[in-house]
Amino acid sequence: MKSVEIKKDIYWVGAIDWDVRDFHGYSTYKGTTYNAYLILDDKITLIDTVKKEFKSELIHRIREIIPLEKIDYIVVNHVEMDHSGSLPEIIELVKPEKIFCSDMGKKALLAHFHREDWPYQVVKSNDTISLGKRSIKFIETRMLHWPDSMFSYVPEEALLFSNDAFGEHLASTERFDDELSIGELIRHAAKYYANIILLYSRLVKKQLENLEKLNLKIDMIAPDHGVVWRSHVKEILEAYHNWCNNKTEEKALVVYDTMWHSTEMMAKAICDGIEKEGVNVKVFNLEVNHHSDIMTEVLDARAIVLGSPTLNNGLLPTMAGFLNYMKGLKPGTKIGAAFGSYGWSGEAVKIMTQYMKDMKFNILEPGIRFQYVPTHAQLKECVEFGKRIGKAIKEGI
């Protein structure tokens, strides 16, 4: 694929990774892109680079436009290796006048590459540099999602280079949001947010408020993963606003694993009860659903209902892993409930409930548990438990 002009004399020169299927625990079943951008001006500027294994794609696409040696500046918005892995080789070829990064960015670059001799130029929020006809205004976005992260804004083009914010893990030859289904894009953006950005929602909210205060005109957002937003900027900004404010729907998730199908029987009966209250409910068996896909659904769910049998006085490993994963992402206030079968000790419900309390969920107590195989009467109790959950969702408890 060739380089793509996203605005006059501004090009996408990144790389497409069609094959990646796991991104440190995140299921990337649609692959991803590593986006880099080239600005042609009096000072030719490269915005970010790509993962080391894809440096040849970056080099090829730049050379379609100009010789690498003509690049004057490199901007490092984010030091994570999927965006900086090829940086040493690019710097060796380009020999740039300056490398612009945040103060934390310089520290991270030194810690990654141990090169004191690079021409670092540290910038902070609201610093501006001139490229000639255009300029770049820097906006630090610490912990979105690394300490070094920053945005680069080109006011003359109303263009925001947003590094990992507003991105999606999605490999495609299409470079713009209006070339794909907006529904599909928002789903991939939601998955990205739920699994990478969610922990930092308080800071997302602060940064969105900061962008409003700066009164920046934004006609285009160019992230470091996925497509460039040019026709649906309003929609992706609105989606981030909803996600960072924990806006939920009348939706419940029943997430479980089972040993000899008893907990599975309970899960389906609880689902029936929730559904009887007219509430949208989705059921996820941890044996067949990836935790990153479930977290995408957690993003706007109002209730999380967890089920596991007791194993060795604890949880099945899949549930323990999912709870640790979800707890680390701090999904915000939800309604929580727990259930499960057991043989002789029965600690699982108590353990799941405590995890949810630690996450500040509003717990529907007591949880429900039955020994060995539930009877027909006990499954009716599960249906009633589900109805309680459904009512709580509708009442907004």
CATH number at residue 144: 3.60.15.10
Distance CA 305, CA 378 (A): 18
- As beta bridge partners, residue 307 has 256, 339
Number of domains in the chain: 2
Nearest Cα to Cα of residue 254 among 132, 339, 127 = 339
Residues 3-27: b if buried by 16+ CB within 10 A, e if exposed? bbebbeebbbbbbbbeebeebeebb
Query: Do 209 and 128 sit in the same domain of this protein?
Result: yes
* The pLDDT value given to residue 394: 92
Residue 221 sits in the same domain as residue 298? no
**What confidence score (pLDDT) does residue 397 get?**
63
Q: Is the model's pTM score more than 0.75?
A: yes
Whether residue 33 contacts residue 185, with contact meaning beta carbons closer than 8 Å, is answered with no
Q: Which of 309, 41, 296, 70 is nearest to 169 (CA)?
A: 296
Indicate the pairing of strand 98-102 with strand 120-123: parallel
Give phi and psi for 115, each to the nearest 5.
Answer: -115, 95
Per the CB < 8 A criterion, the answer to whether 89 and 95 are in contact is: no
Count of C-beta atoms within a 10 Å radius of residue 230: 18
183/213 same-domain check? yes
Do 383 and 273 reside in the same domain of the chain?
yes
Q: Which helix (H) or strand (E) holds 61?
A: helix 55-63
**pLDDT tens over the chain, length 397 residues:** 799 999 999 999 999 999 999 988 899 999 999 999 999 999 999 999 999 999 999 999 999 999 999 999 999 999 999 999 999 999 999 999 999 999 999 999 999 999 999 999 999 999 999 999 999 999 999 888 889 999 999 999 999 999 999 999 999 999 999 999 999 999 999 999 999 999 999 999 999 999 999 999 999 999 999 999 999 999 999 999 999 999 999 999 999 999 999 999 999 999 999 999 999 999 999 999 999 999 999 999 999 999 999 999 999 999 999 999 999 999 999 999 999 999 998 999 999 999 999 999 999 988 999 999 999 999 999 999 999 999 999 987 6
Q: How many CB atoms lie within 10 A of CB 243?
A: 21
Half-sphere exposure of 238 (CA within 13 A, CB side): 5
Identify the domain boundary among 212, 244, 276. Answer: 244
Please identify, among 244, 260, 292, the residue that sits at the C-terminal boundary of a domain.
244
In this structure, the answer to whether residues 303 and 366 fall within a common structural domain is: yes
The answer, yes or no, to whether the previous bond of 261 is cis (omega within 30 of 0) is no
280 and 230 housed in the same domain: no
Cβ atoms within 10 Å of 302's Cβ, excluding its own = 23
Please calculate the CA angle 291-296-300 and round it to the nearest 5 degrees: 135
73 and 218 share one domain: yes
The CA distance from 282 to 293, in Å, is 12
Q: What is the DSSP letter of 70?
A: G
Active-site amino acid positions: 24, 78, 80, 82, 145, 164, 192, 225
DSSP SS3 for 381: helix
Secondary structure of residue 38 in the 3-state scheme: strand
For residues 177 and 138, membership in a common domain is answered with yes
- For residue 374, give the CATH number of its domain: 3.40.50.360
For residues 322 and 286, the answer to whether their CB atoms sit within 8 Å is yes
Residue 96: Cβ within 10 Å count: 23
Pairing, β 37-39 against β 10-12: antiparallel
| Cα separation, 112 vs 76, whole angstroms | 13
Asked if residue 337 and residue 217 are part of one domain, the reply reads no
Predicted pLDDT of residue 277? 96
| One domain for residues 240 and 256 | no
Helix (H, G, I), strand (E, B) or coil at 343: coil
Pick the last residue of a domain from 209, 244, 279: 244
120 class by beta-carbon count within 10 Å (0-12 exposed, 13-18 middle, 19+ buried): middle
Residues 103 and 119 in one domain: yes
Q: In what order do the strands lie in the sheet with 159-161?
A: 128-130, 135-140, 150-154, 159-161, 220-222
Same domain, 165 and 74: yes
Give the domain extent around 266.
Answer: 251-395
